[in-house]
């Protein structure tokens, strides 16, 4: 793998300039990217990620619940007045098939919208990791940035290990001499914890928060590797798998 790779540790750890002309993979294992993947697999038409300064509430009165729904969380909890929160298990085909989803989360959609100047933006989680790597390998140019969404400007180990798994698949069993610090950290974490992804995720900080909020089942769901084989991508502000 000759292309340059770097890893960023949170949704605010990069600038518009950093992503310009790059291929970006936004990773949010718990839970935004796993939820986006699930919603699209269950037939949602598309997902429009809202920026952190978008006041999602102002959309509410214009929405037609038959075609466009507002979903997302604040501090992990469904926001009052939203149709759904951010649990992937809520995004069933009954709820989302044929719908456009306006989606706002604390860190995941912030990382996605802050990446909008990139050449290409892909959505990643453990649910689609092999398909994601295949997509990256099928391109032949440009730097790849793996952007871990983290939590409130801090890193989340489950996102970093997912980035490490991607670098492991891209670089093979030996890191290139010129690997960046970010790649070395992610790769090293994957080597230490990658043998048991469900155990790693069960013990991470955000899993503890989700458990306290009663979202235990999300943790096991988001720990599944390669449940899906599609790669959501953001084009002109809209995420889809077409
Ligand atoms: C986020 O965007 O920070 C997360 O997806 C939060 C969550 O688990 O709801």
CA 144–ligand 1 middle distance (angstroms): 23
pLDDT of 142 > 90? The answer is no
Band of pLDDT at residue 14, cut at 50, 70 and 90: very high
Nearest to 133 by CA among 160, 168, 103, 158: 168
> Is residue 240 in some structural domain?
no
CA 130–ligand 1 middle distance (angstroms): 23
Q: What is the pLDDT of residue 177?
A: 77
Q: What is the pLDDT of residue 47?
A: 97
> Is residue 90 in some structural domain?
yes
The residue contributing the CA closest to ligand 1 atom 9 is: 76
- For the CA of 31, the closest atom of ligand 1 is 5
pLDDT of 101 > 90? The answer is yes
Q: What is the pLDDT of residue 1?
A: 61
CA 151–ligand 1 middle distance (angstroms): 8
Q: Is the CB of 23 under 6 A from ligand 1?
A: no
Query: Percent of the chain having pLDDT more than 90?
Result: 86
> Is residue 197 in some structural domain?
yes
> Is residue 239 in some structural domain?
no
> Is residue 74 in some structural domain?
yes
- For the CA of 218, the closest atom of ligand 1 is 8
- What's the mean pLDDT when you consider all of the chain? 94
Structural domain harbouring 149: 5-234
Q: Is the CB of 76 under 6 A from ligand 1?
A: yes
pLDDT of 139 > 90? The answer is no
Q: What is the pLDDT of residue 203?
A: 97
Q: What is the 3-state secondary structure (H, E, C) of the chain?
A: CCCCEEEECCCCCCCHHHHECCEEEEECCCCHHHHHHHHHHCCCCEEEECCCCCCHHHHHHHCCCCCEEEEEEECCEECCCCCECCCHHHCCHHHHCCCEEEEECCCHHHHHHHCCCECEEEEECHHHHHHHHHHHHHCCCCCEEEEECCECCECCHHHHHHHHHHHHHHHCCCCCCCCCHHHHHHHHHHHHHHHHHHHHHHCCHHHHHHHHCCCHHHHHHHCCCCCCCCCCEEECCEEECC
- For the CA of 76, the closest atom of ligand 1 is 9
Number of structural domains in the chain: 1
Q: What is the pLDDT of residue 56?
A: 74
Q: What is the pLDDT of residue 179?
A: 92
- Which CATH number does the domain housing residue 136 bear? 3.90.1560.10
Q: Is the CB of 108 under 6 A from ligand 1?
A: yes
Q: Is the CB of 86 under 6 A from ligand 1?
A: yes
User: What are 26-83's pLDDT values in tens digits?
Assistant: 999 999 999 999 999 999 999 999 987 777 777 777 778 789 999 999 999 999 989 9
Q: Check residues 170 and 172 and name the one with the higher pLDDT.
A: 170
Q: What is the mean pLDDT of residues 190-207?
A: 97
pLDDT of 148 > 80? The answer is yes
Q: What is the pLDDT of residue 176?
A: 79
> Is residue 242 in some structural domain?
no
- For the CA of 28, the closest atom of ligand 1 is 5
User: What are 176-189's pLDDT values in tens digits?
Assistant: 778 999 999 999 99
> Is residue 241 in some structural domain?
no
């Amino acid at each position: 793998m000759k292309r340059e790779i770097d890893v960023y540790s949170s949704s605010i750890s990069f600038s518009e300039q950093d992503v310009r002309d790059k291929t970006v993979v936004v990773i949010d294992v718990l839970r935004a990217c796993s939820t986006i993947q699930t919603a699209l697999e269950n037939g949602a038409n598309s997902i429009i990620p809202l920026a952190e300064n978008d006041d999602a509430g102002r959309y509410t009165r214009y929405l037609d619940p038959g075609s466009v729904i507002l979903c997302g969380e604040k501090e992990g909890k469904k926001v009052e007045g939203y149709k759904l929160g951010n649990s992937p298990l809520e995004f069933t085909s009954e709820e989302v098939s044929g719908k456009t989803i306006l989606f706002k989360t604390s860190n995941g959609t912030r990382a996605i919208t802050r990446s909008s100047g990139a050449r290409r933006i892909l959505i990643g989680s453990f649910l689609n990791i092999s398909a994601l790597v295949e997509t990256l390998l099928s391109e032949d140019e440009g730097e790849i940035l793996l952007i871990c969404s983290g939590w409130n400007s801090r890193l989340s180990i489950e996102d970093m290990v997912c980035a490490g798994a991607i670098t492991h698949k891209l670089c093979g069993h030996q890191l290139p001499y010129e690997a960046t610090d970010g790649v070395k950290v992610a790769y090293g974490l994957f080597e230490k914890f990658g043998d048991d992804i469900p155990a790693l995720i069960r013990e991470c900080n955000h899993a503890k928060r989700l458990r306290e909020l009663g979202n235990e089942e999300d943790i096991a769901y988001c720990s599944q590797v390669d449940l899906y084989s599609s790669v959501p991508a953001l084009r002109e502000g809209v995420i889809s798998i077409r």
